[in-house]
A = this chain, B = another copy of it.
């Protein structure tokens, strides 16, 4: 009896209802039936994005939607400001380089947070930036940046603010309109509780004005074409959409609506806090900041004397609990517990139990039950 607990920050667990929705007989995408579905999905996306802007859909991974932001907003040689403190901040840098942008990088160590004052200083220093690219939830480290503060700063400048919220959307709150985030990018395989294969970008009026001036070549990820499809009386996509994932998204968005944003974010904040408190109670050291904003991923330093790969293999093979390792320069140094999406107290309790049992088996001194008790206490305190 090997039950599996996928505790990685993407792909994430998928509700059985959503899996079964994705397995319905396929429907054609140029029909009233699809348009009705797609219109409902678009409303649901606006709800979770907390925006009145159009949310464009692409059949791609999150990286595809990130690329779409670069090629629709910029022209070769444009100055852009990139805030980077992990693997996905580096992805903005790589994209900027691939498309010939002149980028200034506010670089922080892995595990660091973007300091909004640095953004303010950079924009004051050079008013010529077309866009500021930032990572909302840095999947590689667990850090969640203060997008509200950064939004307030960028709003006063000509530059548009672009946030990679692939692992944040639906688990770490981002108030797209209230915080003035011009472009928010998300993916299907995190807190939206779907398989990978769909990605999203919401676009503000300020950003659309920039799109009109942008000259980078684009076709598949062309935003104007995607918006044109949305505006028709019968909304559709520019190219063949990932139909089965769209049907699944409709089911997932229905579950999210039913829970409501307030409870959704409370649940995620509580899971984050429970994971952090449990890890600390075991004497392990957090790598992600001990910050209530860190509600998507909890990153933990691999303790002295323990091999990361050995620990994670044991947890997977013996207890069915799959954690993620470190990415980039963090490989071997940290492990990551993903809890964005279809997760609740039960997943945290099982994960901490497996962690305790595995550490104990590997000879690491751990008081059996201590982390789990601490996690449970957090759930009790938070009224779960």
CB within 8 Å of B: which residues of A? 4, 6, 8, 10-14, 19-20, 22-30, 59-64, 67, 76, 94-95, 98-100, 187, 189, 195-198, 216-222, 239-245, 322, 324
Contact = CB atoms under 8 A, between A and B. Distances in A.
The DSSP consensus for interface residues of chain A is loop
The 3 closest A-B pairs by CB, nearest first: A197-B242, A23-B23, A195-B244
Copies, count:
2
A239 B59 contact: no
B195 A242 contact: yes
Given A67-B219, A220-B60, A240-B196, A19 B23 contact: yes
A25 B14 contact: yes
A28 B8 contact: yes
B219 A99 contact: yes
Contacts of A60: 59-60, 64, 220
A4 B27 CA distance: 10
Contact of A20 (B4, B23, B28, B197): B23
A75 to B, nearest CB: 12
Contacts of A29: 11, 196
A61 to B, nearest CB: 4
Contact of A100 (B6, B23, B26, B217): B217
A60 B239 CA distance: 10
A266 to B, nearest CB: 25
Contacts of A27: 6, 11
B64 A197 contact: no
A187 B243 CA distance: 13
